[in-house]
Amino acid sequence: MPRANESIDVSIVNVDVFVTDRKGNRVRGLTAADFEIRENGRPQPISNFAEYAPEQRRGSGADRRDIPANNPIAALAEAPQKRTIVIFVESTTLAPHRSKTFFDSLRQLVREHVRPGDSVAVVSWLRAALVRQDFTDDVESIVQSLDELEAEMTGVEESGADSLRRQQEFLDEFHQDLVEEGFPVNLARITSLGAMSAAQAELTYIRRKAIALKSFMENIAGFDGKKIVIMAMHRFGEYAGAQYFQGEVPTRDRGLLDTRRERESVIATANAHNITLYPVYPRGITSTPRANAEDSGGNIFLVDQEADLRRFAADDLSHLNESAALYEMAVATGGMSATGARNIAGLLPRVGDDLDSYYSLAYRAPATGRDDQRSIRVTTRNRDYVIRSRRQYTEKSDETRVRDLVTANLVQETPGGSLPIEVRVGKVTDTGNRHLVPLTIRVPVESLTAREDGSGSFSVYLASGGGFGILSEVERRGQAFTAVEAKAAGARTGYFTYEVTMRIDPDSYRIAVGVLDDVSKEFGVGRVAVALEATK
């Protein structure tokens, strides 16, 4: 069992960069010398560099640029990176022409850009998340899940005017009830309360969506390669429920309905795990260009132009509220956004280009051993180029990295690390609403490191789940040992044996385990299947 030596830890920070000219055309053939990276405003020497291009996807590898022998910058990889794609769609009703255009463009993206070895998942949201297709590279299975979503979401859209009319009908009934009961009535106050109630309900749903999005991103945090999330949102505006206030939330209510905290938490999670977001708004702008017979009163041919202008203004402001929030999330993570099915159909081929054609840069940063967020800015020598990249880097502590790997291991098997651990499952016991699962974890004594005083310890991380989106919290448990105990264990079996019984949900069928040497910071991960059918 070796002893610890003092060392200086260094983190390698990877940044994917997309470069286009002013017309949106991809710029190819740049070298590391064409870029500059700044962390918290300070220039950082580029230590690793690679260009990925479509030719590599077809297997030629022609676009990997040879690095001269006297150039210290090495290419990151010869082969194209694996890609992880999450398609997150908020269920709503889209008119047939919008629905077909939107889903046709998604299917085209999948058919043209998903390759063997990629991982694609489809998730829908309607007050709760539902995994429609777990991670796969089977194009036809992905397309089928999109077909099913399209069928569910195609119908007659509710316009902004319809929504406001329903709200007004509720308020009219409420007003009438108050009058009949003899209460003093303030119509303006009633209207304000009704709008605020609807807006606060929407804020609750936005918060739940943010939590779900972050959970799914944390699921893939430990995945290698390129990671993107396509977010098709119905409501995730700067202010919740702006449409209930004619598109613009009153100043006095903005603090209560501001979604900045939710947006920033989604951005921070994406950047912490090097995930690029592509938020889109399929509904786009909707409008009621003419008043209907009910709104026009007795003369259906009399058009109230001022009312029409108010409707147009409300529609525009509601659309701006949604699009501005999505654009902010895209820019902060290096992605792109669009609103309206036709514009999204024009955007998704560019998302496909992002999957195939980009630069991967890296620099070395001293590791603090803490979860520490820093700003990143990438520029090129040529100021005519347009650069997209993530804006933040989060250094992860050793514990956070192991937690990420344990979570990822529940979804897809990840590399086991340098610590060769063994995990075995005992007999599962059914207790009704939970299952008791005994685990035996063996850690090689010779792989652990002791401190100068002969003491040592390792941490065990445990989580259970049933596929993408179904996972427990990661539990941490510690085990200390002495040199005498290590010597005795080494003489007997060569292993420390750690036994624990987990209580898991009946929907869970897999357990992931991570072990971190608290001294050397070496780690190992593993996972086991749980035979729940044996309990029946």
Q: Of the given ranges (96-105, 301-310, 515-524), which has the lowest mean pLDDT?
A: 301-310
The kind and range of the H/E element at 222 are none
Rounded alpha-carbon distances, angstroms, from residue 384 to 23, 231, 360, 377 = 10, 30, 20, 16
pLDDT over threshold 80, residue 376: yes
For 8, 39, 353, 370, 403, the CA distances from 367, given in Å and listed in that order, are: 8, 14, 33, 8, 18
Output the pLDDT for position 156.
77
Q: Are 31 and 65 in contact (CB under 8 A)?
A: yes
The pLDDT, as a whole number, for residue 187 is 52
Q: What is the mean pLDDT of the chain?
A: 83
pLDDT of residue 177: 62
Rounded-to-integer distance, Cα 284 and Cα 323, Å? 9
Identify the band that residue 289 occupies on the pLDDT scale cut at 50, 70 and 90.
very low
Task: Provide mean pLDDT across the span 309-316.
Answer: 68
Give the predicted TM-score (pTM) of the model: 0.79
Is 38 within the bounds of a domain? yes
53 has a pLDDT exceeding 80: yes
- Whether 510 is covered by a domain: the verdict is yes
Q: Do 280 and 413 lie in a common domain?
A: no
User: Is pLDDT above 80 for 484?
Assistant: yes
Yes or no: say if 330 and 336 are a contact pair by the CB < 8 Å rule: yes
Q: How many domains does the chain have?
A: 3
Does 314 map to a domain?
Answer: yes
Indicate the pLDDT class of residue 309, thresholds 50, 70 and 90.
low
Tokens of 41: 């405003």
Residue 242 covered by a domain: yes
**Domain assignment present for 438:** yes
Burial code (b: 16+ CB inside 10 Å, e: under 16) for 273-310 equals bbbbbbbbbbbbbbbbeebeeebeeeeeeeeeeeebee
Q: Strands across the sheet with 510-517, in order? A: 475-481, 456-465, 510-517, 523-529
Q: Give the mean model confidence (pLDDT) for residues 276-295.
A: 72
CA–CA separation, 21 and 385 (whole Å): 5
**pLDDT value for 353:** 94
**Does 154 lie in the same domain as 21?**
no
Rounded Cα–Cα distance for residues 276 and 18 (Å): 11
How many beta carbons lie within 10 A of that of residue 201, not counting itself?
12
The length of the chain in residues reads 536
- pLDDT tens track for 34-46: 999 999 999 999 9
Would you say residue 477 has pLDDT above 80? yes
Task: Indicate if 275 and 349 belong to the same structural domain.
Answer: yes
H-helix or E-strand containing 269? helix 260-272
Among 96-110, 211-225, 345-359, the minimum mean pLDDT is found in 211-225
Secondary structure class of 324 (helix, strand, coil): helix
pLDDT at 374 exceeding the cut of 70:
yes
In CATH, what number is assigned to the domain containing residue 90?
3.40.50.410
Name the region of 247 (left: φ>0; alpha: ψ -120 to 50; beta: rest): left
Q: Mean per-residue pLDDT for 449-476? A: 86
Q: Above 90 in pLDDT, residue 195?
A: no
Residues 25, 163: one domain? no
What is the mean pLDDT of the segment spanning 273-291? 80
Asked whether residue 440 falls in the same domain as residue 521, the answer is yes
**Distance from C-alpha of 389 to C-alpha of 410, rounded to nearest angstrom:** 29
> Of 3-17, 23-37, 520-534, which one has max mean pLDDT?
23-37
Q: What is the pLDDT confidence band of residue 210, given thresholds at 50, 70 and 90? A: very high
Does residue 228 share a domain with residue 143? yes
Q: Assess whether 384 and 424 both reside in one domain.
A: no
Quick check: 206 pLDDT over 80? yes
Q: What's the N-to-C CA distance of the chain in angstroms?
A: 44
The model's pLDDT over 321-371, given as tens digits with 9 standing for 90+, comes to 999 999 999 999 999 999 999 999 999 999 999 999 999 999 998 877 778
Query: Which whole number is the average pLDDT over 392-414?
Result: 85
Residue 65 near residue 98 (C-beta atoms within 8 A): no
User: What range does the domain containing 43 cover?
Assistant: 10-53+365-395
